[in-house]
Amino acid sequence: MGCVAAPLGLELELIVLGMLQLDFYAILLTLVILYRYLTTRNSLPRPPGPPGYPVIGNLLDMPSKNSYLTFTEWAKKYKSELLYVNVFGTNIVILNSLRVIKELLDTKSSIYSSRPQRVMVSELMGWSFMFATMPYGRDWRRRRSLFQRFFPTSRADAYQPQQRAKVRHLLSRLCDSQQNFVQTLRHFTGGIVIALGYGIQVNRVDDPYIKLAQRAIGLLNDASTPGKYLVDMIPWLKYIPDWFPGAKFKRDAKEWRKATEEFKEAPFQATKLNMEKGIASISYAATCLENLNTKTLEERLDMEELIKDTAATFYGGGTDTILCALLTFILAMKHFPSAQIKAQEELDMVVGPDRLPDFSDASNLPYVNALIREVFRWQPISPIALPHRSTEDDIFEGYFIPKGSIMIPNSWIFLHDEKVFPNPTEFIPERFLTPSGVLDTNVLDPFDVAFGYGRRICPGMHMARSTVYIVITCILHTMHISKPPGDDQPVEYLNTVIRMPKVFKCDIEPRSKSKERLIQIEALAAHEL
């Protein structure tokens, strides 16, 4: 978050050419920077960091990719868990240890729970309804409260039948299309999130809701890439006309906004229609609508808008995060076969040959649970967590943190700390086990930091965790994952907010004929439910 990508070069050049014609914008920029400087002066020092330049600050220092690695190197160079940079007058504080993250984002959550302005995504592309990225305040509290009321941890059991059925269909499809496992997993994650959120059962192939989600979320993730759009660092650029040099981002956003609106409206209206017909399945949206207790039409419309917003947030936030975790698991099993063998031996002993693993088996599968934890540590979904924004001036360990600072948690630095996790690039589930083979409660569970910090932690994380658990255990129990002959592709990831592996090849096939029969029997039973 807060880094600058290469595509900014042309965009910046065009905008500067336009500013030569309209000196007003240059004057306005100077006044904005001067105002920020005058209103954030303090005798105490800022945290250490690279020296900047006049006006642009550290713009040229910010990395174009893998920002978590740059921030980790800066932490070593400046010998500090807290770093400071400034980009066009915007104060950015990088948090480079779990201790500092907890002390600021948890202990001082009353002033560190807002979100920074996301002009391109929220204002121009129409994603402002997502409460995960809303500024702290009444609108955010209303939506989070609603989501937690109808999707709490205590209700997780109610959704397990759908999770069981979906994973059985997934296993069957993996058998049928072994070489197209990425698309199969994408279809599964989209399908289960749509089912839990809206009660919609997707088609086996070419489902319109899956296609809609893939396009809209793809645009969202691409536009959310840190530093991709200059307007996120200079918000007043949103006011320039669409025809202005360098304003292609505005024309793109206007077109992409259509996908955002359809993404939000289509599944919600389908749920309402199914409820009118009396054929709606249990889901978050249906449960909320059934429990509406409003006195006026205005109140009902207001509550429906909240339900629509929160369902779409779950829809948008859950699909790619679960997919990323599952693809990382597949990639790990391809490159570290010994971990797969140990997990399968444990499953064979605990579950046996005649059934699939279930949620009730979790407490008896320490190695499998350790393996899942290692998936989230080895290649974190988001090495840089969603940024927070401070709402008050603060002093921390002698450093001044101005009001409005963007706080960037670097989770990578402690998940790959060699002092805590030796050989961090290796996939070693045993690091989470005691010598006697039980889960070590003294070792950080990476899942606990995978979905945010403080008051902004994802309220749907328990659903993500249970889904990842049931999928990984069932795949391990029935399938064998291996490296294709002659394959020497290294582990590589995309430079996106949700850190997806680059396209890779692997072989996935049933462990035996008996496992293949078990998959067929379970898939048939799930189809008849």
Task: Tell me: is residue 288 an annotated ligand-binding position.
Answer: no
Q: How many angstroms separate the CA atoms of 382 and 409, rounded?
A: 10
| H helical segments located in 92-236 | 98-101, 138-150, 160-176, 181-198, 208-223
111 burial level (CB within 10 Å; 0-12, 13-18, 19+): middle
Find how far residue 61's CA is from the centre of its chain. Answer: 25
340-376 exposure pattern, b = at least 16 Cβ within 10 A, e = fewer: bebbbebbeebbeeeebbeeebbeebbbbbbbbbbbb
| H helical segments located in 229-336 | 248-277, 284-290, 297-335
Q: How many angstroms separate the CA atoms of 161 and 178, rounded?
A: 25
Q: How many angstroms separate the CA atoms of 223 and 131, rounded?
A: 18
Q: How many CB atoms lie within 10 A of CB 162?
A: 21
What's the Cα-to-Cα distance from 153 to each of 142, 149, 208, 460, rounded to whole Å? 18, 10, 30, 8
Contact assessment for residue 121 and residue 127, using Cβ atoms and an 8 Å cutoff: yes
Q: Please name the residue that has the structure tokens 């799930």.
A: 526
Q: How many angstroms separate the CA atoms of 26 and 40, rounded?
A: 21
Contact assessment for residue 263 and residue 316, using Cβ atoms and an 8 Å cutoff: yes
Tokens of 220: 């969202």
Contact assessment for residue 40 and residue 403, using Cβ atoms and an 8 Å cutoff: yes
Nearest to 193 by CA among 19, 91, 46, 314: 314
- Give the DSSP H or E segment for 93: strand 90-95
Q: How many angstroms separate the CA atoms of 29 and 16, rounded?
A: 12
**Binding residue positions for heme:** 458
**Binding residue positions:** 458
